[in-house]
Amino acid sequence: MKKRSLPFRLLIATALSLFVILYPMLISVYVFFPLLIGFMGLMIIRGIEGRGYAYVLFPLVYLINLEINLSLPLLLSFFAILLYYLTLYNRVLYLKRCKMCVSILSAALIDVYYVGVLTGYDLLMDTSSIVFDSLLWYSFIFDMVLAGL
């Protein structure tokens, strides 16, 4: 693997930091932007597997910022990601030859787990945190496309 120069790594770290900090604020203003929970969950899983601390740190900061700006339950997103990792991730890894398939399927399943956990939370607490509309499907599809890249 090719080592990158320090200015390039610093530029990438700065761009990622700005994205993690500013994007959830943009989502709170422009509701048609996707949430990227499945993609961030995939990054956390990759960090857990040993890709580096940045793969865990940036998505965690993103999810915390998402909770602050949109009031989405942070613990439920962690629970959905870890539940997916413990139940289905090893089965999805049977598709090792197609890494893009594993990424797309993982992001989609994390989104499904999150919606399921959030729906269960809404039923238990008698609240309404999520609206099932076309924007939710758009968010799922964008999550899968981003995971495929």
What are the DSSP calls for 126-137, one per residue? T------SHHHH
Neighbours of 43 (CB within 10 A): 23
Residue 1 lies in a domain: no
pLDDT of residue 131: 73
pLDDT of residue 114: 92
Total-model pTM: 0.88
pLDDT of residue 56: 92
Number of domains in the chain: 1
End-to-end CA distance of the chain: 19
Please give the residue range of the domain that contains residue 20: 6-148
Q: Which residues of the chain have pLDDT under 50?
A: 1
Residue 12 lies in a domain: yes
pLDDT of residue 135: 81
